[in-house]
Amino acid sequence: MREVVAHRAVMEDDADGLIGRQAAAQGPTRALVLDRTEPGVIVRSTVGTPIALVARMPDPLVGRLHVDLQDLGRENTTLRGHTGLRNRSRTFGYSPRMAAIKRESCRPAALDLERPGVAATLRETAVWAGAVMAEYLPEVVEHDEKTLAPVLPEWRFAPDEGHLWTSGVVNRDSPMPYHRDGSNFPTWSAMPVIRSGVRGGHLHLPEWDLTFPCSDGTALFWWGQKHVHGVTPLRMLSPAAYRFSVVYYALRGMKDCATWARESADGRRRRTEREDAIAERLVKGGTVKIAGVTVGRSLA
């Protein structure tokens, strides 16, 4: 594994000023471009601290990801951030309780239940990514394991190398503006990229002025919660072109999850209590909002 030493370009506070802005069009930093004879490159600061890792994925796994992901990005469209940028995405892995959206228990994402074959490929990719981290950045893995100790093993992708992440998102054709991953543990993320017929779409870290190559079958590893990062503009060369990024991360909210059995039981109880309260209010002539629609009528 080749190593590259990076020099700080701007301070962290200056990088904060870029958040919400679009990265400029630029090619990958030459020292970070891989060839077919090397497995990847590690980037370290001048004091030896690891900043990022670029690695090449095995061809069979790349092929499976191409087949499995091409239709996922068309299913959901969400808005990300205050820029109003539309981003086609699907989350996978595990989600914590969120009372505000009536999610009564920790549970798998919908994709895992609806597309078990795709979920299996994404888990296999997590295991491969964890093995790369363990081989080339053992000091990072040791730090992340300690940080994630409050999260039970059953809320992670796999009991071995996949244990570094709880959740993920598949993004399609998304030139994300500069941001930090604020909802995550202070641990490293992994981002495999699958693409065809696209120019641009590389990952820029302004603190180090490094643009990481996001070529087909490349995986990036970095501390997404710590370092501001953004994606350079995309240029689609045909109507069939696509760029998928699969981002693995560890959600802080998963530390509050009990065992699967306990979460399932408590979730059923909370849902029953909520539904009983709605029914009681309607019987008394009140109104409630369900999916944004007002139901019931006042008896006054």
Point out the least confidently predicted range of 94-103, 159-168, 174-183, 264-273.
Answer: 264-273
Mean pLDDT of all residues in 50-57: 96
Q: What's the rounded Cα separation, in Å, for the pair 229 and 118?
A: 27
Point out the least confidently predicted range of 100-109, 136-145, 207-216.
Answer: 100-109
Closest by CA position to 208, among listed 52, 70, 86, 72: 52
What is the Cα Rg of the chain in Å? 21
Classify 279 as helix, strand or coil: helix
The residue type at 151? V
Q: What's the rounded Cα separation, in Å, for the pair 255 and 274?
A: 24
Q: What's the rounded Cα separation, in Å, for the pair 184 and 164?
A: 12
Q: What is the pLDDT of residues 166-184, one digit of tens each?
A: 999 999 998 899 998 888 9
Instruction: Name the one residue in this structure whose structure tokens are 């994606």.
Output: 231
Residue 288's pLDDT band (boundaries 50, 70, 90)? Answer: low
Contact predicate 210/6, CB 8 Å: yes
CA 232, distance to chain mean position in Å, is 18
Classify 3 as helix, strand or coil: strand
Q: What is the pLDDT of residues 7-52, one digit of tens each?
A: 999 988 889 999 999 999 999 999 999 988 889 999 999 999 999 9
Q: Which two tokens stand for residue 38?
A: 């090397």
In this predicted structure, what is the pLDDT of residue 33?
Answer: 93
Residue 83's pLDDT band (boundaries 50, 70, 90)? Answer: very low
